[in-house]
C-alpha cells in the first residue's frame, strides 16, 4: 500500500514533469528564450503528445540501460585503462543519443513548420556543418582573413 502511494505521489508526477520539460533545452537554444520561458514553451509544445513522448523516452531509456548492461558485462575482460576509455566513449554516445531524441522531438512538435537547417541549429557542430549552427555557437562571429 505504501509503495503504491509513493508511486502515485512521487514517481508519476516526476515522469509528467520530465515529459513537460523534455524539449525545453532545444527551445532554449533554437528560440533563444530564457530558462522559464523555454520550460513554458516546452510544456505548450508537448501538450497532447505526452503519451508519444513517454513511448519514445521509454524506448530510449531501455536502450541506454541495455547498452550499459552489455558494457558492464565486458568490463572485467579488459584492463582498467581500456575499460575507462570504453566507458567514456559509450557514455558520450549515449548522451548524444538522448540529445538527438530531444532535438528531433522538438522539431517534430513545432507547429510552425521546420526544416533540417533548424535541426542543425540545435545539434552540435560536426564535419561539414554550417559554421554558424550548433550548441557551441555563443554569438561570436567567425574571423575573416
Instruction: Compute the C-alpha angle 136/141/143, nearest 5°.
Output: 110
Residue 123 grid cell: 545539434
**pLDDT computed for residue 137 by the predictor:** 37
**pLDDT computed for residue 142 by the predictor:** 37
**pLDDT computed for residue 114 by the predictor:** 53
**pLDDT computed for residue 130 by the predictor:** 44
Residue 126 included in any domain: no
Residue 135 included in any domain: no
**What sign does the dihedral 52-56-61-62 (CA atoms) show?**
positive
Cell 554569438 found at: 139
* pLDDT mean by block of 10 residues, the chain; 145 residues: 72 84 84 86 84 88 86 80 83 85 82 60 53 38 39
**How far, in Å, are 37, 96, 124 from residue 93 at the CA level?**
29, 5, 13
Residue 130 included in any domain: no
Q: What is the total count of domains within the chain?
A: 1
Range of the domain at 96: 2-111
Residue 89 included in any domain: yes
Residue 62 included in any domain: yes
Residue 117 included in any domain: no
Amino acid at each position: 500500500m505504501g509503495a503504491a502511494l509513493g508511486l502515485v505521489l512521487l514517481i508519476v508526477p516526476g515522469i509528467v514533469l520530465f515529459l513537460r520539460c523534455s524539449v525545453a533545452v532545444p527551445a532554449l537554444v533554437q528560440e533563444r528564450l530564457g530558462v522559464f520561458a523555454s520550460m513554458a514553451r516546452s510544456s505548450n509544445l508537448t501538450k497532447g503528445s505526452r503519451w508519444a513522448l513517454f513511448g519514445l523516452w521509454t524506448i530510449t531509456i531501455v536502450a541506454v540501460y541495455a547498452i550499459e548492461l552489455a558494457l558492464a558485462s565486458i568490463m572485467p575482460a579488459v584492463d582498467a585503462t581500456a575499460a575507462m576509455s570504453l566507458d567514456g566513449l559509450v557514455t558520450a554516445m549515449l548522451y548524444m543519443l538522448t540529445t538527438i531524441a530531444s532535438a528531433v522531438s522538438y522539431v517534430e512538435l513545432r507547429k510552425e513548420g521546420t526544416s533540417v537547417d533548424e535541426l542543425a541549429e540545435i545539434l552540435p557542430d560536426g564535419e561539414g556543418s554550417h559554421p554558424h549552427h550548433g550548441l557551441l555557437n555563443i554569438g561570436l562571429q567567425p574571423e575573416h582573413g
